Structure 1
């Protein structure tokens, strides 16, 4: 019996492998790129597309929506 085995746990805990960690890090980086890209597009639209104020709000809402997923 080890320190971590008190007899109550019937199933061992799944330890993530290096491949699982890489997959999760890639997903995190991809999500961050989407959020930052949408935010940057919103800022660029505010500067360059002053005639389309709704575009800035749509892109900002999309970046905030992607950030909460």
Structure 2
């Protein structure tokens, strides 16, 4: 881990928290607007691509939470 001042570490932690929150919010919006409301009928290919994208977002959010660590 690089040597950082407390302020630098707080900045990094805040950036990670914001990015993780954005990833989760994007996932929620996509699920709600496209999947759960059922306003759009997806082709099998679109459904698969959306599923892959949502999974990727979930994995990135988890990676960010792990990077941030406890606290």
Provide, for residues 6-64 of structure 1, a one-character-per-residue CA deviation record: whole Å limited to 9, x for no partner.
xxxxxxxxxxxxx8111111111001001111111111111123243333222112111
Aligned residues: 51
Residue of structure 2 in register with 1:57 after alignment: 55
Q: Which has the higher contact order (CA 8 A, sep 6+)?
A: 2
**Contact kept? 1:45, 1:55, Cα under 8 Å:** no
Structure 1: gaps of 5 or more residues: 1-18
Greater radius of gyration (CA): 1
Are 2:65 and 1:67 aligned? yes
Structure 2: gaps of 5 or more residues: 36-41, 43-49
- What TM-score do you get using the length of structure 2 for normalisation? 0.59
> 1:68 Cα shift?
1.3
- What TM-score do you get using the length of structure 1 for normalisation? 0.60
Residue of structure 1 in register with 2:20 after alignment: 35
Moved over 4 A (4+): none
